[in-house]
Amino acid sequence: MIIKSIRKALALSILLLWGICCFGAAQNQFPFKIEHLKDESGKLGLNQLSKMSFDEAQTDILNFGASDATFWIRLTTDHNLIFNNDLIFVEQSRFSSVTSYYQLQDQKLTSKPIYSVFKDGDKKNNQGYAFTLPNKFGIHDTVYLKLKPHEVFITKISIVTENQLLEKHATRDIIFGIYTGVMLIMFVYNLFLFVVVRDRSYIFYVFYILFTWLAQISIQGYGLRYIWDLNSFIDQNSVILYSLLGLIFACLFTISFLNTKLFSPISHKLFNIYLILVLINLGILFAFGGNVAFIVMQVLTLSGAAIAMYASYHVYFKKHFKPAGFYLIAWSILLVGAVFFVLKDYGIVPYNTFTTYLLQICSAIEVMLLSFALADKINYFKKENETAQAQALNASLENQRLIKEQNVVLERKVKERTEELESANETLNETLHNLKSTQSQLVDAEKMAALGQLTAGIAHEINNPINFVTSNVKPLQLDIDDLKDIIKKYENIDLDKDVKPQIEEIEAYKRQIDLGFINNEITSLLSGISEGAKRTAEIIRSLRNFSRVDETDMKAIDLNEGLLSTLVLIRNTLPDNLTVVKDLGNLPKVECMPGKINQVFMNLVSNAVQAIKSKETQEEEEFLTIRSWYSNQQVYISIKDSGTGMSDEVKHRIFEPFFTTKDIGEGTGLGLSIVFSIIEKHKGHIEVISEVGKGTEFIITLQVNIL
């Protein structure tokens, strides 16, 4: 229904405008033959005109469009005319120069001053230019008008009396005064609304009203009459300048009012491009003058109106934004008025008082309708807000009802759920206790595995020197027994008898048992027993250094001692082709838990040895490299092997609990997890560098001052 009403209103408006335009007082027939000549150079003289060919005009309305040329208008008649101080009136205020010449009865051309109804000789005429005709005008008389337009050449030439001209100007002043009053009221009203509402649509609209009014007073000549000086920059370019500024704010107003960014994205993009083009045309105006800028302005005006009509149509009919209906009607009336205003310049509709001021009338109507649109926009959003509030209130009441109904159900379910959660909580606590117990057992198992490995290594390491000692004790006992026999023989010498034979017998016994060999053998056996004792003492010392596994106190220790102790304890597990490279730097003592750090060394070195042993193809010489160094208040320990290495996938998971690459039963998967946990507790860092087939390197970083 609303759509049909808008269409009917537009159709009736067009028909009404057509009827009013066509209705008017009959126009007196123009008594002169009108001819025109276009002077591109503007340098033609009066003496050259008789030799030039003029084109005859078919009507007293001359429309040559936008041009920078000078035009000569020749008025002649084929019969004698009588005038009573009548005036020839050129109805156009935007001429940069107007000159009239008479040639009477084949006399020389004479220039006549321009007649002004306001002040004799005043060229700041706000309606047009008039000059007095001679009372007698014969068939041999000629009038020349030299006209140069500012922007566009559109004028009507008529013959009027001075009273008619004064009445015309008075009527025009009244109409333009009403128009100015409407624009001023709309300007103040919308400016006040902007201050109150703070909607930027209003400020854009206020500036649109201002520059529309300035463009109109420029076209009608009031600006030159009351505001700016003749031939100033504003006088020369006011129509183009204020029209372009009006287009800018009309575009900004349309974007804001119709919310094209949301409702019509295509129109929004077109408006953005349009704004850029208008700004470029402003640059053209200041750089190259008004001729090119005026033509571009006309194109931009038409294209802008088309975009605005499309946007308003789309927003109103497609998005059902009601205030866009007022916008659509307002622009439609302005466009219809502009079309009829242009048609009168081509003689299609009568050139009368109404058509002369039609554009101002439609502009005032448009401004008022747009003000109504802004007000309707406020009401539209107010109604939407009220509707939304009502819906929210209804929803709130409904929610309250539902909440009350659900409270009983929820309380019952909460009670049931609480009982279930309590039961589940007991189950979880029991499960957590079991998991902690299992975790403790697994950690103990890992410790026992390490302890078993340590015990086997210690047993093997101690067995070697002990065997070495025990194997030397028996021969040493026999040698000592022989020495005891010799001593006993010396003790049994009977001094009362002949001593010599007894001594010879003892010497013979010495030769028999080879006393010199026995002495050398005793020395060798004692040296072997001493070496075995030293090796046993070294193992005991390493064991004592390593055996602080359960210590929890932080102590300052030398990490190199822990590394050496670890190597001693696992020496029996090293394969024959493995070479241990030790590059231990001068380290400061580090505050740590010694037993935990030694456990880290044991796990990493054991894993390195196992990685070397698990290689399918053993090299002639494999390497285990242990390095330590100090830099930037940090101690670094590197344990590098030439074993199988690891893939990236394995490397990313090696510190996960229970993750192992060993066969089932060969490991718990907690060794490296424990290593990571210990290093983390010491606020350290462990880095893994590995490549499949080339080995693995673990680099431990510890702060010197941890506490």
DSSP secondary structure string for all residues of 575-609: -TTEEEEEEE-----EEE-HHHHHHHHHHHHHHHH
Which pLDDT value is given to residue 338?
66
Residues 281-300: tens digit of each pLDDT: 888 888 877 778 877 877 88
Is 627's pLDDT higher than 80? yes
Least confident piece of the model among 64-68, 104-108, 347-351, 688-692: 104-108
Is 101's pLDDT higher than 70? yes
Q: What percent of the chain has pLDDT over 90?
A: 4
Residues 235-293: tens digit of each pLDDT: 778 888 888 898 898 888 888 877 888 888 898 899 899 899 989 988 888 887 777 88
Cα-to-chain-centroid distance, residue 85: 76
Q: 384 falls in which pLDDT band (50, 70, 90)? A: low
Is 127's pLDDT higher than 50? yes
Mean pLDDT of 368-387: 68
**Mean of per-residue pLDDT scores for the chain:** 75
Distant-in-sequence, close-in-space partners of 688: CB < 8 Å, separation ≥ 6: 646, 651, 654, 696, 697, 698, 699
Least confident piece of the model among 2-16, 585-599, 613-627: 2-16
Which pLDDT value is given to residue 637?
92
439 versus 355: the higher-pLDDT residue is 355
Distance CA 289, CA 293 (A): 7
Which pLDDT value is given to residue 626?
92
Which pLDDT value is given to residue 635?
93
Distance CA 291, CA 285 (A): 8
Which pLDDT value is given to residue 496?
78
122 versus 231: the higher-pLDDT residue is 231
Distant-in-sequence, close-in-space partners of 23: CB < 8 Å, separation ≥ 6: 354
Which pLDDT value is given to residue 707?
44
Residues 297-352: tens digit of each pLDDT: 778 877 887 888 888 888 878 877 777 777 777 777 777 766 776 666 555 666 66
Is 638's pLDDT higher than 90? yes
Q: Tokens 């394995």 identify what position?
A: 650
Q: Which long-range contacts (CB under 8 A, 24 or more apart) does 266-273 make?
A: 267/307, 267/310, 267/311, 267/314, 270/307, 271/307, 271/311
Q: 208 falls in which pLDDT band (50, 70, 90)? A: confident
Is 26's pLDDT higher than 60? no
Distances (CA, A) of 698 to 182, 638, 646, 670: 89, 6, 12, 17
620 versus 453: the higher-pLDDT residue is 620
Which pLDDT value is given to residue 21?
45
**In 3D, which of 675, 677, 585, 596 has the Cα closest to residue 637?**
585
Is residue 581 within 8 Å of residue 624, measured between CB atoms? Answer: yes
Which pLDDT value is given to residue 112?
45
Residues 529-567: tens digit of each pLDDT: 776 666 666 666 655 555 554 455 788 888 888 888 788
63 versus 665: the higher-pLDDT residue is 63
Instruction: Classify domain 31-160 at the CATH class level.
Output: mainly beta
What is the CB neighbour count within 10 angstroms for residue 149? 23
Which pLDDT value is given to residue 628?
93
496: amino acid identity, one letter: D
Domain segments of the chain: what residues? 31-160, 170-386, 387-546, 555-703
Is residue 331 within 8 Å of residue 305, measured between CB atoms? Answer: yes
* Assigned CATH for 170-386: 1.20.1070
Distance CA 515, CA 480 (A): 11
Ranges 112-116, 168-172, 617-621, most confident: 617-621
Distant-in-sequence, close-in-space partners of 460: CB < 8 Å, separation ≥ 6: 572
Which pLDDT value is given to residue 14?
45
Mean pLDDT of 444-448: 54
> Alpha helix locations (H) across 27-125?
46-49
Residues 461-520: tens digit of each pLDDT: 666 666 656 766 777 777 787 778 888 878 788 777 777 888 888 778 778 877 777 777
pTM: 0.48
Mean pLDDT of 587-609: 85
Which pLDDT value is given to residue 348?
67
Q: Which CATH architecture has domain 555-703?
A: 2-Layer Sandwich (3.30)
Which pLDDT value is given to residue 311?
82
Which pLDDT value is given to residue 2?
42
- The three-class DSSP label of residue 57 is coil
Is 204's pLDDT higher than 80? yes
**In 3D, which of 98, 103, 146, 102 has the Cα closest to residue 124?**
98
